[in-house]
């Protein structure tokens, strides 16, 4: 059961024992340090209990005349303090998520803002999650918005930030990376090291750590995560949850709550909402950008491609997360589950009768042939990969079109136990990878484009066959 709670308590024995040299327990320090001297004074403090402020503890003053009065006095103090400690019901966020599962984004947003007030903020990336700001605006409640300025965003994104501020009459709270950390990374590894060793280190410096600082001042945050954004990593996002990674204002595990009002909304519906409400949108969307991040790591997607394929396109599909939502990412192992099923149990793709299924032995034999009788085109794939799924229809059509033409069309499943082999021997970088084995060449040629329609694949074949 996921829950968030921060309750301080003390026992009378702990306070009494402090009179005789026994240290108070750590929890007692949250209430106040009690010393039984000639004059006892307890200053009023506020207690944070599950996001609610209780009434201040009343000052206690006493002047014991004899040592014999110490123990009765301590007991009286404990009793009075105990009266001030509110018994708080623990929030069950799994149960709350179930209750809100079929609620509209507007209802979820209203609930979040009502519950946390000024201690919650919307995380705005400069993409289509402007819908979150519109929903917050529609509730009529005050709301806060923050964004991470990595220093490498597109000019269009910065102009979009300005348009949003003017449209809603708000000020976005920008968080910036630590200049010393950025300087160290760039000086030691260069401006574009992420193309060689992955984006995680750069994202950690420019995004994750600034986000961590922002969230330390909040009790909850609101994100634009949707289940359909990345079926392999985000398909089980609840509408509300205890954040499994970051800490909030009160500190410690369970001190931050994460709200995902559009978790169950499809991308097309988000865009229909934005058009209907006539709100500002990033002009990059009109150029084919859907998921927008830093300029060097984001590009437009082609028709039929998944929206996340435009992010960190040089990496494996499973790595397309920056770390902001690490707690919602499923296992990265090849035995992880997709939509509740083991990856090995996910239905296979590319099912044309004119398509050859290659085993490990089969593709090794194909690699050894120096004088092939006919050229081959082979896709290295994983059936759970959304980018492979997006090209299924075109690749099956290609197999049917080339049937009897003297060109073999094949597939090789390169995940699981075959992944390391494929990376070392078959140039696998990410799924899908398409190879052409020419007729009179021992080495395969890697298809360099992300245009995976029938016409583009056929043109490439004609060039290299």
Task: Lowest mean pLDDT of 154-158, 195-199, 392-396, name the range.
Answer: 195-199
State percent of the chain over pLDDT 90.
45
Of 58, 9, 14, 5, nearest to 31 (Cα)? 9
Structure tokens that stand for 295 in this block: 């300029």
122: which 2 tokens?
Answer: 């919307």
The tokens of 321 are what? 């997360």
DSSP code string of 128-177: TTHHHHHHHHHHTS---EEEE--S-B-HHHHHHHHHHHHHHT---EEE--
* Active-site residue identified among 202, 203, 297, 385: 385
| C-alpha span between 256 and 221 (Å, rounded) | 8
| Distance, CA of 54 to CA of 97 (rounded, Å) | 26
CB 25 within 8 A of CB 10: yes
Burial class (CB in 10 A: 0-12, 13-18, 19+), 169: exposed
Burial 377-401 (b: 16+ CB within 10 A, else e): bbbbbbbbbbbbbbbbebbbebbeb
- Residue 53 predicted with pLDDT over 90: no
Q: Which pLDDT score, from 0 to 100, does residue 95 have? A: 93
pLDDT for 414 equals 95
Span 423-429, mean pLDDT? 91
- Would you say residue 356 has pLDDT above 50? yes
Please give the mean pLDDT across all residues of the chain: 78
Residues 138, 110 contacting (CB under 8 angstroms): no
More confident site: 43 or 139: 139
Answer whether residue 42 shows pLDDT above 50: no
- Asked if domains 92-311 and 345-464 share a fold, the reply is no
Q: How many CB atoms lie within 10 A of CB 359?
A: 11
Query: Considering 203, 297, 322, 388, which one is annotated as catalytic?
Result: 388
Fold designation for 92-311: Rossmann fold (3.40.50)
Whether residue 380 has a cis bond before it, omega within 30° of 0:
no
Greatest alpha-carbon span in the chain: 108
What per-residue confidence (pLDDT) applies to 289?
86
pLDDT in tens, 254-269: 899 999 999 999 888 9
From the list 261, 244, 260, 217, the residue with the least C-alpha distance to 3 is 244
Examine the residue annotation and report whether 294 is marked as an active-site residue of this protein.
no
The Cα-based distances of 287 to 150, 251, 292, 301 in angstroms read 22, 42, 11, 9
| Residue 34 tokens, joined | 């009690």
Confidence check: pLDDT of 331 > 50: no
Instruction: Categorize the per-residue pLDDT at 347 as very low, low, confident or very high, splitting at 50, 70 and 90.
Output: confident
Instruction: pLDDT band for 343, please (50, 70, 90 cuts).
Output: low
Segments making up each domain of the chain, as ranges: 3-84, 92-311, 345-464
Structure-model confidence comparison of residues 142 and 37, the more confident one: 142
Structurally, what CATH architecture does the domain formed by 345-464 represent?
3-Layer(aba) Sandwich (3.40)
Q: Tell me: the pLDDT tens digits for 269-310?
A: 998 999 999 999 999 988 888 888 898 888 887 766 666 677
From residue 273, alpha-carbon distances to 106, 110, 280 in Å are 12, 17, 12
Determine the average pLDDT of the residues in 384-413.
90
388 classed as catalytic: yes
């Amino acid at each position: 059961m996921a829950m968030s709670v921060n309750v301080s308590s003390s026992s009378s024995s702990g306070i009494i024992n402090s009179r005789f040299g026994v240290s108070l327990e750590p929890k007692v320090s949250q209430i106040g340090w009690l010393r039984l001297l000639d004059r006892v004074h307890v200053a009023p403090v506020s207690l944070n209990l599950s996001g609610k402020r209780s009434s201040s503890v009343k000052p206690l003053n006493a002047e014991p005349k004899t040592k014999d009065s110490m123990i009765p006095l301590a007991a009286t103090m404990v009793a009075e303090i105990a009266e001030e400690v509110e018994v708080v019901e623990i929030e069950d966020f799994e149960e709350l998520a179930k209750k809100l599962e079929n609620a509209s984004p507007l209802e979820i947003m209203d609930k979040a803002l009502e519950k946390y007030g000024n201690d919650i903020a919307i995380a705005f990336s400069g993409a289509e999650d402007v819908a979150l700001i519109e929903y917050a605006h529609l509730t009529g409640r005050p709301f806060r918005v923050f964004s991470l300025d990595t220093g490498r965003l597109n000019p269009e994104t910065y102009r979009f930030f300005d348009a949003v501020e003017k449209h809603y009459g708000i000020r976005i709270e920008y968080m910036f990376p630590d200049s010393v950390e950025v300087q160290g990374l760039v000086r030691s590894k260069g401006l574009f090291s992420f193309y060689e060793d992955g984006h995680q280190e750069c994202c950690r410096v420019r995004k994750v750590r600034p986000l961590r600082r922002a969230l330390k001042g909040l009790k909850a945050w609101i994100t634009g995560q949707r289940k359909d954004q990345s079926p392999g990593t985000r398909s089980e996002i609840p509408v509300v949850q205890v954040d499994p990674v970051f800490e909030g204002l009160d500190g410690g595990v369970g001190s931050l709550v994460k709200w995902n009002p559009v978790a169950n909304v499809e991308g097309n519906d988000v865009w229909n909402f934005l058009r209907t409400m006539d709100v500002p949108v990033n002009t990059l969307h009109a150029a084919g950008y859907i998921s927008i991040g830093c300029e060097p790591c984001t590009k437009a997607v082609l028709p039929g491609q998944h929206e996340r394929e435009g992010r960190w396109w040089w990496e494996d599909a499973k790595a397309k997360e920056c770390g902001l939502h690490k707690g919602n990412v499923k296992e990265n192992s090849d035995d992880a589950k997709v939509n509740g099923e083991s990856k090995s149990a996910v239905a296979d793709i590319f099912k044309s009768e004119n398509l050859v299924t290659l085993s490990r032995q089969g593709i090794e034999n194909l690699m050894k042939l120096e004088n092939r009788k006919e050229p081959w085109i082979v896709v290295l794939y994983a059936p759970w990969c959304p980018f492979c799924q997006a090209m299924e229809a075109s690749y099956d059509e290609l197999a049917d079109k080339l049937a009897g033409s003297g060109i073999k069309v094949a597939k090789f499943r390169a995940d699981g136990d075959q992944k390391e082999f494929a990376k070392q021997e078959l140039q696998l970088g990410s799924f899908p990878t398409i190879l052409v084995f020419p007729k009179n060449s021992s080495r395969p040629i890697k298809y360099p484009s992300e245009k995976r329609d029938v016409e583009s694949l056929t043109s490439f074949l004609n060039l290299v066959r």
